Chains A and B, each alone.
Chain A
Amino acid sequence: MDLVERIRSGNKRTLSKLITEVEYDTETGREALRELYKYTGNAHVVGITGSPGVGKSTLVARIVKELRKREISVGVVAVDPSSPFTGGAILGDRIRMQELACDPEVFIRSVSSSAGTVGRTTKNIIRVLDAAGKDVIVIETIGAGQVDLDVLNVADTKVIVLMPESGDEIQMIKAGLLEIGDVYVINKADLENAARTKSQLSLAIKERDGWIPEIVMTIATSGEGVEKLVDAIFAHKKHLEDSSNLRKGRLEAVKSEVVEILVEKLKMRFYEKFSNARYSDIFEQVLDKELDPFTAAELIEKEEGL
C-alpha cells in the first residue's frame, strides 16, 4: 500500500509519522502533501481561541464528545507555546481529552508553536487529517498573540471563548477578536455577570458577510450549552456553504498561499545567490553607510532583471 492509501485507510502510525514530516516541512512531507491535496477540502475546520483560564481545553474536550455523539469523526490539533530559548515545550492540552484518546474516530495531535511558521504548519497538518477522512478538525490555540491569529486564520469557523467579566468593557475588544469571531462562547456561565457580559458582547459584535455571530452560554465543566455550541458551529458551516462568499473566500486563501510559497521560494533563491560573493560589495557598502538599503535593493533588482 502506498502512503496515500495508508493515510486514506486510517493507518494511525502512518498518519502520525506524516504529521511529523509536515511539521518539519521535509521533502517527504511536501511530496505527500502534493499527493494528498486532491483529497482535502472535505473537513470543516473549527478554530477555538480564548485567553488562558477561560476553560478552552475543557470546552474542546466537550465539543469533541458532542461531535462523537453525532457520529462525526474528529481530528484535534492542540497548539501549546514553546520556550523561545530552548525550543522545549510542555504539551499538556491532551490532559482534558484523554478519555477520547482511545476512540478510533478521534485523532489528537499536540503541536508546539516553536517555529514562526506555526500557522502554515497547522494548515498542512489539517490537510493531512482532512485527507485521512476526519469530518471535523478542531484547532485549539494558545490564546495569545499573533501566533494565535495565524493559527485561527486557517479555520472555517472561528470560535472565541470568553468568560463573564466584572469590568465595564470586554477585554477581547483590545485583542481585536471581536472582528473575527463567527461564534462567541461565554463559558463558566454560572458565574456572576454572565448575563451582563452577554449583553455587552451582543452590542459589540456586528453582522459580517450576512452572518450575525452567535453567542452561546456554556459551562464546560458540566457540559451545559455544548450541544447549542455545536449547533451554532454547524449553522455557520451551513451559512458558508449557502453563501457565494465561500468560494470567493477560499479563492483568496488559495491566492495568498500560492503567493506565500512563491515568496518563500524567491527568498531562498536570493539567499543562495547571496551566499556566493556576488553582491557582497553592495552589502559592505550598506553597512558602511555608503549606500542605503533601498538603493541597494533597486541595484540588485536591475542586475537580476526583475
Chain B
Amino acid sequence: MKKGKNIRVLIAKPGLDGHDRGAKVLARACRDAGMEVIYTGIRQSPEQIVETALQEDVDVIGLSILSGAHMSIIPRILELLNESGIGDIPVIVGGIIPPDDVEELKRRGVKAIFGPGSSVNEIVEFIKSIT
C-alpha cells in the first residue's frame, strides 16, 4: 500500500441473508480505524461484489454470511475475482462457518475466517496487517 493512502475495504453481504449486525459493526470499526469502507449492504450477488471491488479499487474484501450458503457463494466470488484479474485482493469472511468448510475455503484462497465471538479489533488489526 502507498504511504498516506487510506485502506479501502469492501464490506458486503452476499446471498439473501439479511443479518447485517456483524457487517455493520465491522464497517464502523474499520471507519473508526481510519479506513474507507465501501458498504454495499445486503443481498449482493457474486457478480455485484466482484464488480464493486474492481471499480472501487479496494485493498480488502470482507464478506459476511450467516445463512449457510457460503460453500456455493464464496468459491464463486473467488473464481470471478480471478477472472477479472483481481484475484490478488485478499478476501476475509465472517459468519457461521463449520470447521470443515473453514479449511476448504482457506484452501481455495480465503485469507482468514472469523467466526462468532471474534474480536472486531482483531479483525481490524488483521486487515491492517495484510494491506
Of the listed stretches B1-9, B60-68, B71-79, B106-114, chain A binds: B1-9
Report yes or no: B36 in contact with A88, Cβ–Cβ below 8 A. Answer: yes
Contacts of A83 in B (CB 8 A): 31-32, 34
The complex places the Cα of A181 from the Cα of B48 at a distance, in Å, of 34
A13 in contact with B85 given A95-B39, A98-B41 (CB within 8 Å) = yes
Report yes or no: A88 in contact with B55, Cβ–Cβ below 8 A. Answer: no
A286, chain B: closest CB distance, angstroms: 31
A24 in contact with B2 given A13-B84, A88-B37, A98-B48 (CB within 8 Å) = yes
Contact-residue bracket for chain B: 20 to 34
The complex places the Cα of A108 from the Cα of B2 at a distance, in Å, of 23
A165, chain B: closest CB distance, angstroms: 29
Is A102 interfacial (CB 8 A cutoff)? yes
A92 in contact with B56 given A87-B34, A101-B48, A114-B6 (CB within 8 Å) = no
Query: Number of residue pairs across A and B with beta carbons under 8 Å?
Result: 90
Report yes or no: B30 in contact with A101, Cβ–Cβ below 8 A. Answer: no
Report yes or no: A88 in contact with B4, Cβ–Cβ below 8 A. Answer: no
The complex places the Cα of A24 from the Cα of B2 at a distance, in Å, of 10
Report yes or no: B54 in contact with A12, Cβ–Cβ below 8 A. Answer: yes
Is B33 interfacial (CB 8 A cutoff)? yes
Is A171 interfacial (CB 8 A cutoff)? no
Interface size of A in residues (CB-CB distance below 8 Å): 29
Scoring A16, A20, A24, A101 by chain B CB atoms within 10 A of each residue's CB, the highest score goes to A101
A24 in contact with B4 given A12-B55, A86-B32, A94-B52 (CB within 8 Å) = yes
Interchain Cβ contacts under 8 Å between A and B, 14 examples = A16-B55, A19-B57, A20-B5, A24-B2, A24-B4, A24-B5, A83-B31, A88-B30, A89-B6, A91-B56, A101-B51, A101-B55, A102-B45, A110-B36
Beyond A86-B33, A92-B38, 19 extra complex contacts between A and B, CB < 8 Å: A12-B54, A24-B5, A83-B34, A88-B35, A89-B37, A90-B27, A90-B37, A91-B36, A91-B38, A91-B39, A92-B39, A94-B39, A98-B41, A101-B47, A101-B51, A107-B55, A109-B55, A112-B6, A114-B36
What is A's interface to B at a CB cutoff of 8 Å?
12-13, 16-17, 19-20, 24, 26, 82-83, 86-92, 94-95, 98-99, 101-102, 107-110, 112, 114
